[in-house]
Amino acid sequence: MGANADMVAFVRARLADEEHVALAAGGDRWRCPADVPGEVHDRTGGVAFTVRGRGFDQHIALQNPARTLERIETNRVMLGEYIEVADLDTDRPAEDFRSGRAVGLGFAVRQLAAEYAGHPDYQARWLPRFIQ
């Protein structure tokens, strides 16, 4: 994996951080009962949040721990696909399928890394490349 190993390790670590938080929050789906606007409930019916106004309740419910865990898993699958071809993800890729796959997946993984650009370990060199 060479030069891209540190980026992969960074993304893996951030996904693990998020997974830990989602599991600590119970790993459950949340919902907004129609009869109590502004409340976000966990699977047991307990009130996870009470937020009045502006649609925050719906947004918070959508960001539930179960959905976070699902997103983490799909990101890990993409990361695994990238690891298979990461050595081919270069500034001057060859013109074959595997190299194209590496550059495309590399762009996606760089986007994942960019979600954590505020993290002190993020490196600007991981910004997505735009190659023609």
Q: Report the Cα 101 to chain-centroid distance in Å.
A: 20
The better pLDDT of the pair 25, 48 is held by 25
pLDDT tens, residue by residue, 59-78 = 888 889 999 999 999 999 99
pLDDT band at 130 (very low <50, low <70, confident <90, very high): low
Contact 22, 16 (CB under 8 A): no
pLDDT tens, residue by residue, 84-125 = 999 999 888 889 999 999 999 999 999 999 999 999 999 999
Amino acid identity, residue 104?
A: G
pTM of the model: 0.85
**What are the tokens at 4?**
């891209």
Contact 79, 109 (CB under 8 A): yes
3-state SS class at 130: coil
